[in-house]
Structure 1
Amino acid sequence: MQDMKKTPLEVRLSAFMDGETSREEKEELEKLIASDANAQRIFDELRHGSDVGRKAFDEVLKEPVPLALVRSIKSTQPPKTREPSPRLNRQTLKLAPTGRQSLAAALILFVVGGGIGYLFGMQPADTPASQPPIPTQVAPRTWLDDLAAYHRIYSRQPQHMVELQASQLDEIAKWLASTVGVKFNFPDLAADGLVFQGARMFVAGGKPVGQLIYKNLDGDVIAICFIKTDGVADDDFNETIKDDISIVSWRRNGATYAIVGPSSDAMLDQIANRVSSEI
């Protein structure tokens, strides 16, 4: 170990201030500082310089960090490290059958193959192959589907419900008869609580449809529809429900008629019976 007594006094006192001396050296320097004026002066100068340096460093720490440096630190991506996954030492299995095992496996394959061939051979040669399932046929869309969809829309638009008002009876009769091709009368449905509102025309099933529109006291819209069709007359009523719309239809004299209204209306059959006798 180096003899501290041969070291310059400034170095020894600096080590004393930093706490880097032994206990014996510390006691010796304390006595020296207390008894020697020169040692006291050097110690005071070193301590003063240390205090000045510490204060200067503290002031540096108080200064704000430049914004560019902060951005640079934040934008720096840390290096991606990935620890290699430990490899498991797998024991290699050697599949080397013995002679007896090979012979047994061959016999098993022979028996299984022969059995399968025998089963196929027992089937008749003229057995027809299984037919693929027949896809479910979707019912074709009819004019009644268009009728229900159309009624569901216009019945909720009171300001645009009719094209011709109830007061224009002559014009309604000429317009619909010539466009639809069906002659008709205006049924009086006041006994059923229905008031005639007017008429309009639309297309359903690719054909023009005439429509006479009524309203009941509850504000529900009931419509009489007619379309020119071919086929045998059928005075029987056919009721069709399309969700919230109910349709009662019948055929007569080359035309099909329908009463359309809400499915909750229990009077549609009665209304259809009156219309069929008056229209």
Structure 2
Amino acid sequence: MTCAGESSREACVPTTLLTTKNKTRIWTWNIRTLYETGRTAQACREMDRFNSKDRRVTITHCYAPTNVADIEDTVNFYEHAQTIIDKVPKRDMKILSGDFNTKVGIDNTNLEYIMGIHSTVEQNENGEFFTEFCSFNDLVIGGTLFPRKNIHKTTWISRDGKTENQIDHTPISRKWGRSLHDVRVKGGAAAASDHHLVAALLKTKIKSFNESAGRPAHKYNIREKQKSDHFKIKMRKRFSVLSYYQKRQSTNSDEVCERHGRRHVQLFGSRSLENTRSGSQLTPGHAPRKGRT
């Protein structure tokens, strides 16, 4: 599918998605009028199709049964969705989008890890299926995390303009929840649809490297006298070998100096040795330091 004035070759060129420097917007739109002439090009001008480059991303678009549909149809839908999610590699960033026809409500008791409180309406029966599905797959419902005015949260409006609901959602893997910066409705996009355009703003981050990760930090309790004495004994034993070598090294250096002095006296006499010692105090090429004025 290409836009008006865009060649098929240009449409196949991959676009950078989810880099650490740029922010990426993912759009979801349930447009009932796409079968009409010209609606496809109009929707394509509103949205871009991206290919992943730095991060593996799997985006699954869904269209769930309505709340008045048979319970069997709803169960079959979520079973089929589960089979698709199971095929996604675990390391991928999973993003779901589309018309789930569900109201999750503002009560997130015992569901704080998958949803916030910034919704618009009470939960319906489809909302229970949806929250259980997100909880099982460790997905966060993005549209409930950010405080927005109702005009920026309602995704569907009835034909008579009297009823508004938030039934389009954008769940994302909870592991990548911090990469989701915003979810809001864009009401300016028009394609003669009763659904509004939902935009999700994403930006990935580079994980910081911790050198101490994996190495446990040992704590020593030496306040007790028994443990303190035991610690001192171990330290003495550990450094006794080092002190032995230090003493031996100093003894050897003294012996070498003494042996060198005796040899010097035998060759040049004691007076020459005194002149050598006095002359060594002034080193050629270095001026004596002067005091500060």
Same fold (TM over 0.5): no
Q: Higher helix fraction: Structure 1 or Structure 2? A: 1
Give the TM-score normalised by structure 2.
Answer: 0.16
Give the TM-score normalised by structure 1.
Answer: 0.17
Q: Which structure has the bigger radius of gyration?
A: 1
